[in-house]
Structure 1
Amino acid sequence: MSFGGQTPTIIVLKEGTDASQGKGQMISNIQACLAVQDTIRSTLGPYGGDLLLVDENGRQTITNDGATVMKLLDIVHPAARILTDIARSQDAEVGDGTTSVVVLAGEILKEIKEHVEQGVSSQIIIKGLRRASAMAVNKIKEIAVTTREGNQRETLRRLAATAMSSKLIHRNADFFTKMVVDAVLSLDQDDLNEKLIGIKKITGGALQDSLFVNGVAFKKTFSYAGFEQQPKSFKDPKIVCLNVELELKSEKDNAEVRVEQVSEYQAVVDAEWQIIYNKMEEVYKTGAKVVLSKLPIGDLATQYFADRDVFCAGRVSSDDLERVVQATGGSISSTCSDIQPQHLGTCERFEERQIGGERYNFFEGCPAAKTCTLVLRGGAEQFIAEVERSLHDAIMIVKRAIKNRNIVAGGGACEMEISAHLHRSADLSVPRKQQSIIKSFAKALEIIPRQLCDNAGFDATNILTQLRVEHRKGNTWAGVDFDNEGVRDNMEAFVWEPSLVKINAIQAAVEASCLILSVDETIRNEESEKPQAPQRGLPPGAAQRALRGRGRGMPRR
């Protein structure tokens, strides 16, 4: 219907709603992702720097772990937050390569940006990227090397060392790789639950003072008077684990009892005492020398056990008690009246020891040990926290490598080989529309060796030219030589990574890029947000402000 030859304006969205769409919106999203990439790219590789992040409470974190950085950046731009998701997924699935996946996703978008500006349909770009991803994954599977079973421990140490090469602890890699491999191999090899590897951090001492405990260690729990009279060391003790409160509970606090004579009141009090004495006697009759409980063990029970040369600890955390059960072969009892011999655990040696300024309980030489504990020492709290993050990455890599024994060379060798393969294949077997997209993807893969060189202070252009020449000659594993600033065979140099790391990184980066490119309109309801000053266009530094938490996210057009 028309009125006077004019079409009336139809308002569908609520007043104050911001709708941005079209090519400008896609380019804006890409710019925001590139701002994130610029922040994190300097942390890549063995010579990458660390970021010092300070949150709103003033707490400091020093790290170069990609997933940790992305989590702490507090990104508000909706499209850029997708990069946070892929870093977390890489961390959960593989454990390492979190920085690589963000840098790669950003570079893919940077190379594709030119096609978007030229008006190429986003669907053609997405099809080309997905095809390139499939070709890259197939190439990785084709060139991956399967490790021999007989030399498993040494192979796992090489993989762990590569994962640590970009971390703070790379100078102590020999010390920690042995610790990491021992830790993973101590787990049940069927499920490899890394949560059963306990990590305890104690400030003070040197890194080399860190301990590997083939069993369980946890900090001394809250204890009552009488605790110091208990023995602190046993050989081959029986261990009972409880989910029972051994504390005198006065029922008059939570029940109403009517009595007419003092003797009746005394009978109630005596009954309360008799209940806890019966519980303690039942526990003592089991012959256990170590009593642990998730719930409190009060002063009466503490003194009772001390008089009978029994060690007890209450309020043990659920994780620690579960690991004690896994290590000693016992089970958690929720009653004291029916504890059978098969419910008790045992270990060769129980001891309470002083480490730094803390006292720790150690259960060592456990017969059913499917768990272990890493006790980390170091000078500063932030430093030990970064060591823990580094060990987590190495543990996850070793865990994946046990399940999947295919490896590739690191140091940019794998990416350069895939890039060379895609350049060759694009001209031969790809439809003309998608050729330029696949070649852009192949060029984006070169960001990994390029950034490794830039962070190390090498001449990136010169080394990349040498790498292209080597890969054209058929030297599959030619990568960056960090020792001599050049090119070398990184497979022979033992710079190894599980092929799963590369496959997952490429797939996640491409999926994120496709998701960002598929968004060409953003509708934002202003009323659901805090009032902010109007923001028109994309002023200089808007994407950077989004990183610092002061940006609006999606800009208006």
Structure 2
Amino acid sequence: MQPQILLLKEGTDQSQGKPQLISNINACQLVVDAVRTTLGPRGMDKLIVDHNGKAVISNDGATIMKLLDIVHPAAKTLVDIAKSQDAEVGDGTTSVVILAGELLKRLKPFIEEGVHPRILVRAVRTAAKLAVDKVSELAVKIDNKSPEEQRELLRKCAATAMSSKLIHQQKEHFSKMVVDAVLSLDAPLLPLHMIGIKKVSGGALEDSFLVAGVAFKKTFSYAGFEMQPKSYQNCSIALLNIELELKAERDNAEVRVDNVKEYQKVVDAEWQILYEKLAALHASGANVVLSKLPIGDVATQYFADRDMFCAGRVPEEDMRRTQRACGGAVLTSVRDLGAGALGHCKDFTERQVGGERYNIFTGCPAGKTCTLVLRGGAEQFLEETERSLHDAIMIVRRTIKNDAVVAGESPLQ
């Protein structure tokens, strides 16, 4: 019988058996030790600098695990369980990593003594079933509670999720905001993308507020913007994916003419096309015109003369949320611009938030949405506040969807 020859890439490390299992457990232990000190109300934040030189300060387990440049394949599974916990539950990302690490630590002596991994896996599965049964036994049902009691319970859940975060001192303020935000969404799906989070540097954390609608930063604007009205009652909104400005056609096409009159016809046609679009928008009855593409100075002046508000270069996410909240459709042509294609809201206003101007739509009839406007100091501080609120929002959503809560002992008691 010919001996089997296995051809592997040069530099391939091939190992198996007990030494490799021990190596895997040791690698996981190193990862656990990296995040262990972030756990709990007295946990410390980690300062992580990536290969681009960007600094991130966080004690969110999933964020730290994503930023750690882990090479060992076994240790990468811990990153995956942290990501899974973040997507499914939101909070507890550090806890699952440490719990997995502790289980491996307890199993390590059995591996060293030669116990087969399959026996250990069977024992862990049995232990997991016992743990789940015990948790179910301790759970408190929330189905039969009054709306006031349920709201208070949700607020406590949000506050608990924030107790180990950077914003734990303001958890009373933020827990109410988070509960109001989640309860404003459409049940039973509670779509996460309908909660917008905007960050404005400056001010104190307590200056953060909740908008019961859509809010986004004022986009780049042309001359004439100052003359446009900055608030409307019961306004109609046109949502466009159209460029409302004159373009130099020499960049897009080649036109050959043999006299000045022919050239003037080309120029007049460009202006005529633009004015036809603007006239159609005015005739539709829209008060507010939003577009994903630029709205130039001619269009801005045109709208200002007719007491209309416009904003170009609106980000895709904000445009989609405005559409879902206010109704209407994002149009690529003004030919079919009827009343049914317009969105509506009770109030539109542009107001100053810190050093920024914000466009705010409230009283949106079509879909339930809200926007959290966060205030604070440094950029890293605001980013960590956003991560903390994300965890709290996910926990409140999970509590509403599942009808049971398990209380835990406070570490401070």
Query: Given the two structures, how large is their TM-score scaled by the length of structure 2?
Result: 0.95
Q: Which residue of 1 aligns with 2:382?
A: 384
Q: Which residue of 1 aligns with 2:188?
A: 190
Structure 1 counterpart SS, 2:176: helix
In structure 2, do the counterparts of structure 1 residues 190 and 331 end up closer, same or farther at CA, with 3 Å as the change threshold? farther
State yes or no: 1:175 paired with 2:173: yes
Q: Which residue of 2 aligns with 1:106?
A: 101
- Matched to 2:339, the amino acid is P
Q: Which residue of 2 aligns with 1:35?
A: 30
Residues matched between the structures, number? 410
Structure 2 counterpart SS, 1:339: coil
User: Of the candidates 309, 312, 315, which is equivalent to residue 314 of structure 1?
Assistant: 312
- Matched to 2:114, the amino acid is G
Contact 1:212/1:372, CA 8 A, preserved across alignment: yes
User: Of the candidates 206, 213, 216, which is equivalent to residue 215 of structure 1?
Assistant: 213
TM-superposed CA distance for 1:165, in Å, is 0.9
TM-superposed CA distance for 1:481, in Å, is 5.2
Q: Which residue of 2 aligns with 1:124?
A: 119
Once the two structures are superposed, what CA deviation does each residue of 1:298-328 show, in whole Å capped at 9, x if it has no partner?
A: 1111111111111100010111011112222
**Counterpart Cα distance in 2 of 1:81 and 1:56:** 19
**Counterpart Cα distance in 2 of 1:155 and 1:48:** 25
Structure 1 counterpart SS, 2:295: coil
**Counterpart Cα distance in 2 of 1:202 and 1:102:** 33
**Counterpart Cα distance in 2 of 1:19 and 1:271:** 72
Once the two structures are superposed, what CA deviation does each residue of 1:430-482 show, in whole Å capped at 9, x if it has no partner?
A: xxxxxxxxxxxxxxxxxxxxxxxxxxxxxxxxxxxxxxxxxxxxxxxxxx551
Larger Rg, first or second structure (1 or 2): 1
Q: Which residue of 2 aligns with 1:540?
A: none
**Counterpart Cα distance in 1 of 2:405 and 2:350:** 42
Q: Which residue of 2 aligns with 1:205?
A: 203
Matches within 5 A, 1:255-266: 255-266=253-264
Q: Which residue of 1 aligns with 2:39?
A: 44
**Counterpart Cα distance in 2 of 1:262 and 1:186:** 61
**Counterpart Cα distance in 1 of 2:226 and 2:9:** 70
Structure 2 counterpart SS, 1:80: helix
Q: Which residue of 1 aligns with 2:57?
A: 62
Which structure 1 residue ranges, 5 or more long, are not aligned?
A: 3-7, 412-479, 484-557
TM-superposed CA distance for 1:56, in Å, is 2.3
Q: Which residue of 1 aligns with 2:110?
A: 115
- Matched to 2:267, the amino acid is V
Once the two structures are superposed, what CA deviation does each residue of 1:190-248 show, in whole Å capped at 9, x if it has no partner?
A: 32111111101111100110010001111111111121221212222211111111111
**Counterpart Cα distance in 2 of 1:11 and 1:98:** 41
User: Of the candidates 377, 380, 405, which is equivalent to residue 407 of structure 1?
Assistant: 405
Structure 2 counterpart SS, 1:39: helix
- Matched to 1:43, the amino acid is T
TM-superposed CA distance for 1:169, in Å, is 1.2
- Matched to 1:179, the amino acid is M
**Counterpart Cα distance in 1 of 2:181 and 2:126:** 40
In structure 2, do the counterparts of structure 1 residues 54 and 334 end up closer, same or farther at CA, with 3 Å as the change threshold? same
Query: Given the two structures, how large is their TM-score scaled by the length of structure 1?
Result: 0.71
Q: Which has the higher contact order (CA 8 A, sep 6+)?
A: 1
Identical counterparts, % of pairs: 64
User: Of the candidates 346, 354, 357, which is equivalent to residue 355 of structure 2?
Assistant: 357
Structure 2 counterpart SS, 1:202: strand
Q: Which residue of 2 aligns with 1:272?
A: 270
Contact 1:94/1:397, CA 8 A, preserved across alignment: yes
**Counterpart Cα distance in 2 of 1:18 and 1:119:** 23
**Counterpart Cα distance in 1 of 2:352 and 2:196:** 18
- Matched to 2:101, the amino acid is G
- Matched to 1:24, the amino acid is P
Note the aligned Cα RMSD (angstroms).
1.7
Once the two structures are superposed, what CA deviation does each residue of 1:485-510 show, in whole Å capped at 9, x if it has no partner?
A: xxxxxxxxxxxxxxxxxxxxxxxxxx
Contact 1:215/1:369, CA 8 A, preserved across alignment: no
- Matched to 1:335, the amino acid is S
**Counterpart Cα distance in 2 of 1:66 and 1:481:** 19
Q: Which residue of 2 aligns with 1:26?
A: 21
- Matched to 1:181, the amino acid is V
- Matched to 2:247, the amino acid is K
